[in-house]
Copies of this chain bind each other. A is one copy, B any other.
Amino acid sequence: MSIKKIKGGVCAPKGFLANAVSAGIKNPDVERLDLALIYSEFPCEAAGTFTTNRVKAAPVKVSQAYMKADKVQAIVANSGNANACTGIQGLSDARQTAAIVGKKLGLRQRQMAICSTGVIGLPMPMMRIEPKFGELVDGLAADKGLEVAQAIMTSDTTHKEISISVKIGDHRVRVGACAKGAGMICPSMATMLCFITTDANVSQACLQKAVQTSVEASFNRITIDGDMSTNDTVIVLANGASGAPEIKRNSVECGQFREAIQYVMKKMATSLVRDGERVTKFVTVSVKGAKTYLDARKVAEAVANSALVKSSWNGEDPNWGRIIHAVGYSRAAIREELVDIYIGGKAACLGGLQADTPMEQLRKIAAKDEFEVRIDLHLGKADYEVYTSDLSPEYIDFNRSEYAYWKQARKDGLA
């Protein structure tokens, strides 16, 4: 596939405008972008996937309902407050946001998607957010993709965006994306938001399929701390403004479109892991030779989520003993005496026993910022791969308290 990187983030595809403003959601005394808007000048096909956590934030419930009912054409997103566990008030806040911003854009309420990320359990400070809607809409422009990527950051240390131009059939289309992640990243998504825009002209059926399979191969394969958030959302808007012919379901072009979406999602997903809270290593855990797909996945996830394995990576210790112990408790079918473990391509364990590779070589690999752990079970043909990180003392330190949030809510009269 002929992919070229281009500039512009979510504004790179034709017909998309964006803006972000500072509403002081987390802290009114700090000036930072925390309220964002993405808007398509043309009607869109839209598709999304949402958290499977049974505790869903209000904006997730609202956006899911709106996307079923209508054709979403704009997204309002905020950081600093997740609007989760906020009951009827939270739902009302999310709906009101859709109604007011939608009206200013000339859209129906249900053509809006609403997304939030931040602390759980505190009401939204709507008295600071609502007065900003005018500025948010008035400032829409075709060169503000970056601002949106910045406004959705929470504990992210850097913004994440990508935009590409890709040839589908005989026509070039553009795909842009931004995402936020940091803690709580786990298969089945995370406090993770990802917005993707494209000017491809794609049928609803093809778009839906492309989003589902791409999420499965990207966001559902990353894990930082084994937690899963109430707010995870991936939304893709396709406005057809490229002028290319419609991409129909099951066509060759639909396959190419899916590849493009998957490319973008994988870039975003892996960049989330790299920027995980206080993460120092990016580790690919690749399981081969499992009896079933589910077994391969169980093994990969058990290893990638083990606190002891992740601690050893933080210590640059190529500790295959802890890896095989996680393989053992994964509940997958395994035979200890068949298990091979390679670290960065070097055998650490063969047939369940320590391999001959000199420890110094393995330690050099574990000292790198990025390496692969490959586990071959030699029981079948199923594979699975996840992308993960180490677990650092600083992660825990960082996550010890969210008290600052509560103090602000108290000041706001909301707690």
- Measured CB to CB, the residues of A under 8 A from B are 52-56, 84-87, 119-122, 183-184, 186, 188, 225-230, 305-308, 311-312, 314-317, 319-322, 324-329, 334, 336-337, 339, 349, 351-354, 359, 363, 391-397, 399-403, 406, 410, 415
Give chain B nearest CB distance to A306 CB in angstroms. 6
Give chain B nearest CB distance to A411 CB in angstroms. 12
CB–CB B308/A55 < 8 A: no
CB–CB B406/A227 < 8 A: no
CB–CB A325/B391 < 8 A: no
CA distance A54 to B395 in the complex (A): 30
Chain B residue at minimum C-beta to C-beta distance from A87: B353
* Across-interface contacts of A312 in B (CB, < 8 A): 399-402
* Across-interface contacts of A55 in B (CB, < 8 A): 324-325, 327-329, 334, 336, 339, 352
Question: Are A308 and B225 CB-contacts (below 8 A) given A349-B85, A353-B86, A401-B316?
Answer: yes
Question: How many copies make up the complex?
Answer: 2
CB–CB B317/A354 < 8 A: no
Chain B residue at minimum C-beta to C-beta distance from A227: B308
* Across-interface contacts of A353 in B (CB, < 8 A): 85-87, 121
CB–CB B403/A317 < 8 A: yes
CB–CB B399/A337 < 8 A: no
CB–CB B324/A406 < 8 A: no
Question: Are A406 and B85 CB-contacts (below 8 A) given A317-B401, A393-B397?
Answer: no
CB–CB A87/B403 < 8 A: no
* Across-interface contacts of A86 in B (CB, < 8 A): 353
Query: Which 5 pairs of residues, A with B, have the shortest CB-CB distance?
Result: A315-B400, A55-B328, A120-B321, A393-B393, A121-B321
* Across-interface contacts of A324 in B (CB, < 8 A): 55, 85, 120-121
CB–CB A225/B307 < 8 A: yes
Give chain B nearest CB distance to A348 CB in angstroms. 9
CB–CB B226/A320 < 8 A: no
CA distance A232 to B327 in the complex (A): 16
* Across-interface contacts of A120 in B (CB, < 8 A): 321-322, 324-325
Chain B residue at minimum C-beta to C-beta distance from A414: B354
Chain B residue at minimum C-beta to C-beta distance from A315: B400
Q: Of the candidates B85, B328, B334, B400, which one forms a contact with A336 in the assembled complex, judged by CB atoms under 8 Å apart?
A: B85
Give chain B nearest CB distance to A189 CB in angstroms. 10
Q: Of the candidates B306, B325, B393, which one forms a contact with A396 in the assembled complex, judged by CB atoms under 8 Å apart?
A: B393
Give chain B nearest CB distance to A297 CB in angstroms. 15
* Across-interface contacts of A307 in B (CB, < 8 A): 225-227, 307, 391, 395-396, 399
CA distance A329 to B315 in the complex (A): 30
